[in-house]
Amino acid sequence: MKSIENLISEATKKALASLYNAQTESVNITIQPTRKEFEGDFTITVFAFTQLSKKNPEVTGKEIGEFLKSELPIVDDYNVIKGFLNLSISKLYWLEFLKSIFNKNDYGLAKPAADAPSIMIEYSCPNTNKPLHLGHIRNNLIGFSVARIVEAVGNNVIKVNLINDRGIHICKSMLAWQKWGGGETPESSGMKGDHLVGKYYVLFDKKMKEEAKKLVAKGILEEEAENKTDLMDEAREMLRKWEAGDAETINVWKMMNGWVYDGFDVTNKTLGVNFDKVYYESETYLLGKEVVNEGISKGVFFKKPDGSVWIDLTPDGLDEKLVLRGDGTSVYMTQDLGTAIQRSKEYKFEKLVYVVGNEQEYHFKVLFLILKKLGYKWADGCYHLSYGMVELPEGKMKSREGTVVDADDLIAEMIKTAEEITKELGKIENFESAEAAQLYKTIGLGALKYFILKVDPKKKMLFNPRESVDFEGNTGPFLQYTYARICSLLRKAKDMGYSAAINVNDIAQKEKDLIIKAYEFPKVIKESATAYNPALVANYVYDIVKLYNQYYHDYPVLKEENADLRSLRIAISEQVGTVIRNGMWLLGIEVPERM
């Protein structure tokens, strides 16, 4: 079925050709929803056509409107205000449209064909030296939601994680645990593994600073002191041992990373995010070296006298960039080159999306440019989904100042608040305790996820703890509530023997508004997939929910005595419920059937 916009657009071109004898190949026709203060459903801006018609906008609009009205059966009427041609689409058409999507539980969600393009999305990418925090939550939620959205427009999606499980930071935790841990484990301490390891990372930092302070007192420069501590030496020594494959070091490393993975799994499972494939840096960090050699022979890279390898990007307006250290060891760029190339061999993807914070924009610009210069065709399909930092009312999160919002704490807090508010409202007296616990989780996480996803990923966002636990207005629980209320309505309808049906030939304005809104759903998903922006879906769901609540308030459904009207209202309610459920699915937010 052709979209209305297409029909209108084509008919308008026909009008221009037949009325004004115009060439319409290159004419761009802008069609937008009519603003609600005017009569009509779609609006064509006619200013641009006055050159073709040689008449003023009013007259041009009228002539085109008249043409469309007689030519297009779906156009019932039109009016022209200033240069705007407002078209009213026939109510019968909207009812037909409603019929066409009605009972489709997966409305808006396309199933990817087997031969559909593949898109790889990398997100999360934590270090294993400390637990996840609010920044990771934003990353996880964006990555997971974008994956669903991209899938819903018909792509095959491969969700991947790249865990930074090696390096000096992990050695710091290990060293501190060996020195002062006394053999403590998650079991013996009762601590979640990632938090336990994080505790030793913090302890290392504290002890090292104490040592550095003494060095400064002895006259060593402050900026050099930390690097000159014995503790840092020991940590570096441990890293060397790790790289040399020292058995004892590897064992401790494996054990402590295992604790961290168990911890991450719990957090990710609670958040509801997952991956198709997990990469570990310990397995990929050597990958890029060969590529560097190839690059030298291809003349893309060059070697400096000290042996370090560089690429000159000054012709591209960037700097010279190091791709391999003088001692032959990798830098970040080396690994990322190698990993990307390996992935391209493992999976045939058309796009590779990196969900990474905007502080790394330069890095990815360079990475993609190098891949392109190395001749990889798929480099054009690489995209850095660069999201803004999460800030707190008192400023940025700083681990040194202890202002980092821990992911597990935050999630627990949201769930607790959901419980308190639910109990306060006294809505679920007849719930089993397990059912109630599930509901608190659904609501608490719904609030958190929606709070984060409703903001454009590209923008930095302010996380105000007080506002995040607000469950009224433009919030996740508000959307969930509307869904639950629809479910309740449908349950009652069923009990009363009423069913949904579309047997009318007239509808109220608010009903038409809702159908039009539902009509926009697939379009919104497409836009949101193109822009990798879940906020478009979030804001859309909010819009339709707001419209529906007004409708719910103004129009009785079950109390309506006219059976046809009643059935129509049930049908509309059910359809809105489907849109809410599927929209929330795209955001990774669950919806409760009662709350």
Partner RNA sequence: GAUCCCGUAGCUCAGUUGGAUAGAGCAACAGAUUUCUAAUCUGUCGGUCGUGGGUUCGACUCCCGCCGGGAUCACCA
Quick one: 160 or 414, whose CB is closer to RNA?
Answer: 414
Q: What is the largest CA-CA distance in the chain?
A: 93
Query: H or E element: which one contains 548?
Result: helix 534-554
- Residue 90 DSSP class: P
Distance CA 12, CA 19 (A): 10
For 248-330, strand residue ranges (E) read 277-280, 302-303, 309-312, 320-324
Minimal distance, residue 156 CB to RNA, in Å: 26
Distance CA 95, CA 406 (A): 49
For 337-472, strand residue ranges (E) read 351-357, 382-387, 390-392, 395-396, 461-462
Binder among 19, 22, 27, 81 for RNA (CB under 7 A): 81
Binder among 142, 535, 571, 572 for RNA (CB under 7 A): 535
Contacts of 395 (CB under 8 A, 6+ apart): 403
Quick one: 528 or 582, whose CB is closer to RNA?
Answer: 528
Minimal distance, residue 574 CB to RNA, in Å: 13
CB count in 10 Å sphere of residue 443? 27
Residues between 134 and 173 that touch RNA (CB under 7 A): 164, 167-168
Quick one: 144 or 471, whose CB is closer to RNA?
Answer: 471
Q: What 3-state DSSP class applies to 173?
A: helix
Quick one: 59 or 81, whose CB is closer to RNA?
Answer: 81
Half-sphere exposure of 501 (CA within 13 A, CB side): 12
Residues between 459 and 478 that touch RNA (CB under 7 A): 459-462, 464, 467, 470-475, 477-478
> Does 443 participate in binding RNA (rule CB under 7 A)?
yes
> Does 454 participate in binding RNA (rule CB under 7 A)?
yes
Piece of the chain touching RNA by CB under 7 A; list 12-20, 81-89, 340-348, 400-408: 81-89
Residues between 320 and 379 that touch RNA (CB under 7 A): 322, 325-327, 331-332, 358-363
Binder among 137, 311, 484, 529 for RNA (CB under 7 A): 484
- Residue 112 DSSP class: P
> Does 319 participate in binding RNA (rule CB under 7 A)?
yes
Is residue 119 within 8 Å of residue 157, measured between CB atoms? yes
Quick one: 462 or 563, whose CB is closer to RNA?
Answer: 462
Residues between 112 and 131 that touch RNA (CB under 7 A): 127
Q: Which two tokens stand for residue 140?
A: 């996880």
Minimal distance, residue 212 CB to RNA, in Å: 17
Binder among 6, 56, 66, 82 for RNA (CB under 7 A): 82
> Does 24 participate in binding RNA (rule CB under 7 A)?
no
Residues between 538 and 557 that touch RNA (CB under 7 A): 539, 542, 546, 549-550, 552-553, 555-557
Contacts of 65 (CB under 8 A, 6+ apart): 78, 79, 80, 85, 87
Distance CA 212, CA 319 (A): 35
Residues between 169 and 228 that touch RNA (CB under 7 A): none
> Does 304 participate in binding RNA (rule CB under 7 A)?
yes
Minimal distance, residue 7 CB to RNA, in Å: 16
Minimal distance, residue 32 CB to RNA, in Å: 6
Instruction: Fill in the amino acid letter for 8.
Output: I
For 94-145, strand residue ranges (E) read 118-122
Quick one: 113 or 462, whose CB is closer to RNA?
Answer: 462
Residues in contact with RNA, shown as a per-residue x/- string from 563 to 592 under the rule CB under 7 A:
------------------------------
Residues between 240 and 279 that touch RNA (CB under 7 A): none
Q: Which two tokens stand for residue 525?
A: 């998903």
Query: Which neighbouring-strand residues pair with 461?
Result: 390
CA distances from 423 to 5, 131, 311, 420, 451 (A): 48, 31, 62, 5, 22
Minimal distance, residue 302 CB to RNA, in Å: 12
Buried b (16+ CB within 10 A) or exposed e, 67-104: bbeeebebbbebbbeebbbbbbbbbebbbebbeebbee
Binder among 9, 422, 575, 578 for RNA (CB under 7 A): 422
Binder among 134, 150, 411, 487 for RNA (CB under 7 A): 487
Residues between 29 and 58 that touch RNA (CB under 7 A): 30-35, 37-38, 40, 43, 45, 47-48
Piece of the chain touching RNA by CB under 7 A; list 104-112, 116-124, 299-307, 407-415: 299-307
Distance CA 212, CA 214 (A): 5
For 148, phi and psi rounded to 5 degrees? -65, -40
Minimal distance, residue 292 CB to RNA, in Å: 13
Minimal distance, residue 586 CB to RNA, in Å: 16
Size of the site for RNA (CB under 7 A): 93
> Does 522 participate in binding RNA (rule CB under 7 A)?
no
For the sheet containing 309-312, what is the strand order? 302-303, 309-312, 320-324
Quick one: 181 or 338, whose CB is closer to RNA?
Answer: 338
